[in-house]
A and B are shown apart, each in its own frame.
Chain A
Amino acid sequence: MRIPCPICGTRDRREFTYQGAAELLRRPAPDAGDAAWDDYLHNRDNPCGEARDLWFHEAGCGAWLVVERDTATHEVMGAELAEKVAS
């Protein structure tokens, strides 16, 4: 599996560390309430198919990426910088 880092170009999966669903970028407001925070911290979809995940280009440029991939076929559709997605 290879991931197209927007900074470094397409790189081997070994250079990256997996974090989890990109939901993590959608942090609720501090006063959003217990239900919103419980959802944010603990509840994730488990998609068979398209997924958006956070990957860290640990052995490369050091950027956090949001990678779109298919969990069923392992196809990687694209990647963008997490800072652009979050801002």
Chain B
Amino acid sequence: MANLVALSPCEGLLPQTIGAVTIAEIDPGPVTAILPFKGQDKAVGEALKSALGLGFPAPGRSQSKGGARAIWVGKGEALLMGAACPDLAGAACVDQSDAWCVVEIVGDRAEDVLARLVPLDLRASQFKRGHTARTLLGRMTASATRSGAKAFEIMVFRSMAETLVEELTRAAGAVAARG
């Protein structure tokens, strides 16, 4: 019988430290897309709350409780990460585990690196902890979430993992070169 070995999307590519930033891959655990049916937003939020202690996130926001996280990723859609999806009668729930590449960029110049790639003001005064956005990173659609004072989590579809690493490392190199 074949012996299958699971490979993460950025296997062999990360972590890398360039100048004042470190780029590392994150294992998000199980990932489920949750899309409430029409008029079911409230019921789905309450069901999530009673099962996991977190609600359905508002646009541009993320929530976390214990190891579970809910990240808004579009109109009427959130990703539940790090926890098995509870039974939600009022929503379409799609298993997207292994479909996303999740990377964290941490360091003093993380904002400067992302400023070269993302057409959005990610400074702490505008984009606070718990804020998230669907936007572009280079030419890719991406999800960006502030995960700390000097840290961001970036998600792209798994097929774009190599491009994401290339974009981030090239931008980090350019920021480091300028000093």
Contact = CB atoms under 8 A, between A and B. Distances in A.
Contact of B59 (A7, A12, A58, A59): A7
Given A8-B60, A11-B119, A12-B119, A61 B135 contact: no
Contacts of A9: 60
B133 interface: yes
B74 interface: yes
A85 B10 CA distance: 43
A9 B59 CA distance: 10
Contacts of A61: 59, 74-75, 134
Given A14-B136, A15-B136, A62 B74 contact: yes
Nearest to B59: A7
Interface of A: 7-9, 11-12, 14-15, 58-63
Interface of B: 59-60, 74-75, 77, 119-120, 133-136, 141
21 contacts: A7-B59, A8-B133, A11-B119, A11-B120, A11-B135, A12-B120, A14-B136, A15-B119, A15-B135, A58-B141, A59-B134, A59-B136, A59-B141, A60-B74, A60-B133, A60-B135, A61-B75, A62-B75, A62-B77, A62-B134, A63-B75
A2 to B, nearest CB: 9
Nearest to A6: B59
The secondary structure that dominates the B interface is strand
Nearest to A60: B134
A8 B136 CA distance: 13
A3 B141 CA distance: 17
Nearest to B137: A59
Contacts of A60: 74, 133-135
Residue of B60, B134, B135, B141 contacting most chain A CB atoms (<10 Å)? B134
The 9 closest A-B pairs by CB, nearest first: A12-B119, A62-B74, A61-B75, A59-B141, A59-B136, A63-B75, A60-B134, A7-B59, A62-B75
Contacts of A58: 141
A54 B119 CA distance: 21
A71 B159 CA distance: 38
A58 B135 CA distance: 9
Given A59-B141, A62-B75, A8 B119 contact: no
A61 B119 CA distance: 15
